[in-house]
Structure 1
Amino acid sequence: MYLIESKRNGEWIYDPGMAMALQEYVKDHIFLDDDVLFPYMMHPVVQIGKYQNAYEEVNQPYMDEHGIKIVRRESGGGAIYLDDRNMSFCFLFDGNQDIFGNYGRLYEPAIKALEKIGVHRVEQKGRNDLVLDGKKISGAAMTVQKGRVYCGYSLLLDPNYEAMVSVLNPNLKKIESHGIQSVRSRVGAIRPYLAPEFQDMTVWDFTDYMICQLLGIDNISQAKRYELTPEDWAGVDKIAREKYNNWDWNYGRFKEFEYHVTERFPIGTISIGLSVEHAKIAAIQITGDFFGTQDVKEVEEALLGKRLRKDELLEATGQLDLTKYFGDLTKEAFVNYMLSVPAVKA
């Protein structure tokens, strides 16, 4: 099995879009005489499945506040939070192997590797999860591309529970669409179960160990590697620019959905009904018991056709004095309200 590390000029790539673009390029353009392993680590990001509606999966204001990105992968499955405290492992297997849909077989080498460092009671359960003492420490995804099985999973060594819970806990309570929603499971961690002599492993120690186990070698220096050429990197850059670092791919792919929210502010109740197509506002109605001196239809017209992203909504309302429509309400509070979509209050 070849090792392709997510490194450029000897430096690890942490940008989620670039890491995903590298995987896609290798999947579609690099055909070697053996299977491929490529580990990757990302700056804080929510990775959503191909068929999910981003707005159903994340707490967007929390993401904006903490600089957390979102990236849509090519395979299905649910939303996961990734960061630089844990490592993910991606594979390309010959399609003739009996592995597509066989998550037990995919996880088997990882389970054996974890047992060697003291982590027992690891089981593959459900459709695609790895659990430790009943808590989820990994979720896998698979797809088939050009005769090869493209799959992967993350291993939660030191999960950031606060970020994970906050970012994967959207406030959308009344949203209608046909997206696949994530099941938010109890999340566990690997580190507490490591044998005493391995308790001080860094994430990099853990990564090197897992790579060696997955490749069947004693030292990382023995890995059979493929190094990307300048031409390869040009292809990766193009995919990252046009796809994974493209807002429309990550947010706008979902065709249409609707939601309605009501919130009580000091100036009164504001209700917003939205019809969204490809992440752009196709229809909007604002109602409530607030007092304004100008017709709120002007706000609705300013927002029509705009994408559901903070900077665009702020720009759309930039020329409007919202106090004339709602009373003492800032543009920032109004836009955050639209994006957070709080629960309907009685």
Structure 2
Amino acid sequence: MYYVVMPSRDIRENLATEQYLMNQKNFDEPLVLFYIEKPCIIVGRNQNTMEELNNDYVREHQITVTRRLSGGGAVYQDLGNLCFSFVVDAQDEKFGDFQKITQPMVDALHQLGATGAAVSGRNDILIDGKKFSGNAMYTRNGKTFSHGTLSYDVDLDVLTHALKVNPDKIQSKGIKSIRSRVTNIRPYLKPEYQNLTTEQFRDILLLALFHADNLADIQEHEYQITAADQAQIDQLRQQYYDNWDWVYGKSPKFTVKNRKHFDMGTIDARLQIEHGKIQGIKFYGDFFGSQDVQQLEQQLVGVVYNYDALQQALQPIDLDQYFHGIDATAILNLIAP
């Protein structure tokens, strides 16, 4: 296994680096990345950014906002959070199997004393019934990355103010607020690991992953970003993570809006109907899929807006590649009149 420790504290730089290393570099073993950010919110690929934020609060506190390539829900991070990412060959991992791909990190946390940490639900790592890590996946060109958060000492009060969670998602989980179900992992660790900096926490986890005693022993496994790498990373940052169109886009006005929460994620479908046909359709939500949902949206433009026509249009399409784990009939019932 190889590793990269990113020096930047800017989420846009780090997501661009992650994307570059996945798509442009070929390693003969899995790669693990670690990065730490100043206060930021990262929305999932399929989410409507404006609807996920407390926009006044985010603007007032100068919280960076960007969008990632992977699906899933919005997350808040600050300097008390450690991000990790595993990059592997897609053929070696089943898309959506978060338990398997995050198990090395869970095992490392167990070594540090958090023996109750476990993958729960579709993509969370919990302890004592509370979430301290959310994870998401993205697949392209034979590679998969699974990246996640580790809340070590995050300001949870800021988190609850910065994110605006839709009530139907809260109700479906039987909770009163996001604050009631999140925690930091720090108090669950052994005493000697409870007063670390985030950087120290990162290094100890890195050693646990490699079963090593000091960083010098694993130095040969570290990949250093070159000047040529950085030039391409800068281009990706401008194309995606610093790009207003990518982060926010222009939300069209739809005449039909249907939203439903499923066990594997929420789908918010918005349709514009003209002359009895779909003129525009957009899927938002924290669902996962191995393919870009825009492909499905393009296929549905021009379809007559009735149940039979939509059923016929969707029948040959493998909807699981866009909405992993969600029944195709349920999706049809969501968007059909």
Work out whether the TM-score is over 0.5.
yes
Specify the SS of the correspondent of 1:78: coil
User: Cα deviations across residues 253-275 of structure 1 (Å, max 9, x unaligned)?
Assistant: 6555589xxxxxxxxxxxxxxx9
Aligned residues: 248
- For the residues of structure 2 that align with 1:121 and 1:193, how far apart are their CA atoms? 8
Match of 1:66 in 2: 61
Match of 1:249 in 2: 246
Match of 2:2 in 1: 2
Q: Is the 8 A contact 1:49 1:75 kept in 2?
A: yes
Q: Give how far 1:204 is off.
A: 1.3
Q: 1:257 to 1:2 in 2, by over 3 A?
A: farther
Match of 1:298 in 2: none
Match of 1:27 in 2: 22
- For the residues of structure 1 that align with 2:254 and 2:65, how far apart are their CA atoms? 19
Match of 2:300 in 1: none
Q: Give how far 1:197 is off.
A: 2.4
Q: Is the 8 A contact 1:109 1:213 kept in 2?
A: no
Q: Does 1:130 align with 2:129?
A: no
Q: Does 1:14 align with 2:12?
A: no
The TM-score, its normalising length taken from structure 1, stands at: 0.67
Q: 1:205 to 1:75 in 2, by over 3 A?
A: same
Match of 2:31 in 1: 36
1:249 alignment partner AA: W
- For the residues of structure 2 that align with 1:240 and 1:158, how far apart are their CA atoms? 27
Q: Is the 8 A contact 1:52 1:254 kept in 2?
A: no
Q: 1:4 to 1:197 in 2, by over 3 A?
A: closer
User: Cα deviations across residues 205-242 of structure 1 (Å, max 9, x unaligned)?
Assistant: 11001112223333222140222221111101111112
Q: 1:55 aligns with which of 26, 34, 50?
A: 50
Q: 1:38 to 1:187 in 2, by over 3 A?
A: same
Match of 1:80 in 2: 75
Q: Does 1:164 align with 2:159?
A: yes
Q: 2:227 aligns with which of 216, 227, 230?
A: 230
Match of 1:186 in 2: 181
Match of 2:116 in 1: 121
Q: Does 1:100 align with 2:95?
A: yes
Match of 1:326 in 2: none
2:4 alignment partner AA: I
Q: Does 1:205 align with 2:200?
A: yes
The TM-score, its normalising length taken from structure 2, stands at: 0.68
Q: Is the 8 A contact 1:21 1:236 kept in 2?
A: yes
2:243 alignment partner AA: N
- For the residues of structure 1 that align with 2:114 and 2:250, how far apart are their CA atoms? 40
Gaps of 5+ in 2: 168-176, 257-269, 273-337
Q: Is the 8 A contact 2:54 2:161 kept in 1?
A: yes
User: Cα deviations across residues 17-54 of structure 1 (Å, max 9, x unaligned)?
Assistant: 11111111111111121111111111111011000000
Gaps of 5+ in 1: 7-11, 174-182, 260-274, 278-346
Q: Is the 8 A contact 1:48 1:80 kept in 2?
A: yes
Q: 1:202 to 1:61 in 2, by over 3 A?
A: same
Q: 1:258 to 1:59 in 2, by over 3 A?
A: farther
Q: Identical aligned pairs, as a percentage?
A: 34
- For the residues of structure 2 that align with 1:58 and 1:29, how far apart are their CA atoms? 32
CA RMSD of aligned residues (A): 2.5
Specify the SS of the correspondent of 1:4: strand
1:2 alignment partner AA: Y
Q: Does 1:140 align with 2:135?
A: yes
Q: Give how far 1:161 is off.
A: 1.0
